[in-house]
Structure 1
């Protein structure tokens, strides 16, 4: 099975779990998937744990009986034995996240430009796009994904950990402020270019095709 098939199979098998075991196992999923390990090895581990838990449940045992009362420590030990993604996969992810963000930005720009053309703006409308803004969007999208993954990992086995949510919010605000400040500083040094609605739609189409390719190849 490829990664996508393993995830689908995992989701289907979870229906066999009772409510308490499903909650326990769900936290394990969040922790392991947000730990930055190799995706395939992570999904293989999750399936192995799930099959073990389903068998134990049939025998009248709970997830806590099987994995212990410290699921965070148990998962941390498992994750420490699994490989990290290859460098090429890490680089691919670093490119894919900003790629997706910029791709959908151009769809929004195209739709807005088309709306203005239809309603009030004369023919020849084009939006002024700053390279500094695009770089800022790319960095912000990366920071947001990294921070969300960190938050998920740190709060996987807690009901409500306000400290981590506040820390996440502060980190995100500081990160956004830093990116915006850098954008203003670089604005006068980096070019500004015009993008017509039709060009924006073409850029979106190319970006979306690349996005689909990345996601499909990453699920193997």
Structure 2
């Protein structure tokens, strides 16, 4: 089965677990899936094998710690060392898909704001390509770092009896606020370098739609 089918089967089979076993396994599953560079196919296959083994043990009255031990993180680390890395093509597709999706949304939102705003006041359509490129790179870098930062917080919260959701939410909120502040500051303080071009609202919508289509197509490519 392909990775997507394995994930669907995993979601279905997990409903058979007791609450305690489900928590143990879910943390274990997330820990494995958050390893960016592991082979998705191999990871999902081993996760399903572990789930099937856990369900069988549960039917015999055993708990997840009885079967896999009291240190699921150490057990997961042992498995990770044995799993192969994802191929470079899939990794490039993943990060490129994130970037294209991000800029697709930004362009569509920008076009929508100009379209709606133009009914209330005159909108300055001038865009400085050099400045826009610098801000775009900053947004991309912040977004990719944000994905890593959020995944790191999730990873850190796994395998704990009590999870500090409020504390984690504050960290994410502060990170988002600081990042947004830096992007706004860059837009305000960076000089307008080079010639300007006027871009109408429909151009943003068209470009955003095209990037969205390309991003969707990347997901359909074989890995």
TM-score between the two structures when normalised by the length of structure 1: 0.83
Alignment match, 1:126: 125
Structure 2 vs 1, CA of residues 85 and 207 (structure 1 numbering), >3 Å: closer, same or farther?
Answer: same
Query: Which shifted more, 43-52 or 90-99?
Result: 90-99
Taking the aligned partners of 1:161 and 1:206, their CA distance within structure 2 comes to 41
Taking the aligned partners of 1:65 and 1:191, their CA distance within structure 2 comes to 68
Equivalence map 1:40-79=2 (5 Å):
40-79=41-80
Give the CA deviation at 1:182.
7.4
Query: Which shifted more, 151-160 or 138-147?
Result: 151-160
SS at match of 2:58: helix
Taking the aligned partners of 1:4 and 1:148, their CA distance within structure 2 comes to 23
Q: Is the 8 A contact 1:113 1:127 kept in 2?
A: no
Q: Is the 8 A contact 1:107 1:201 kept in 2?
A: yes
Structure 1 stretches lacking a partner, 5+ long: none
Taking the aligned partners of 1:11 and 1:70, their CA distance within structure 2 comes to 23
Alignment of 1:80 onto 2:81: yes
Give the CA deviation at 1:141.
1.1
Alignment match, 1:29: 29
Alignment match, 2:143: 141
Taking the aligned partners of 2:220 and 2:81, their CA distance within structure 1 comes to 28
Taking the aligned partners of 1:4 and 1:32, their CA distance within structure 2 comes to 16
Structure 2 vs 1, CA of residues 93 and 187 (structure 1 numbering), >3 Å: closer, same or farther?
Answer: farther
Q: Once the two structures are superposed, what CA deviation does each residue of 1:144-182 show, in whole Å capped at 9, x if it has no partner?
A: 1111222222221123258x9499659947983996587
Taking the aligned partners of 2:154 and 2:138, their CA distance within structure 1 comes to 24
SS at match of 1:157: coil
Q: 1:160 aligns with which of 158, 163, 169?
A: 163
SS at match of 2:32: helix
Taking the aligned partners of 1:187 and 1:77, their CA distance within structure 2 comes to 52
Count of equivalent residues = 217
SS at match of 1:99: helix
Alignment of 1:7 onto 2:10: no
Taking the aligned partners of 2:124 and 2:182, their CA distance within structure 1 comes to 29
Taking the aligned partners of 1:187 and 1:149, their CA distance within structure 2 comes to 35
TM-score between the two structures when normalised by the length of structure 2: 0.82
Q: Is the 8 A contact 1:98 1:139 kept in 2?
A: no
Taking the aligned partners of 1:192 and 1:2, their CA distance within structure 2 comes to 48
Structure 2 vs 1, CA of residues 192 and 40 (structure 1 numbering), >3 Å: closer, same or farther?
Answer: farther
Q: 2:212 aligns with which of 193, 200, 208?
A: 208
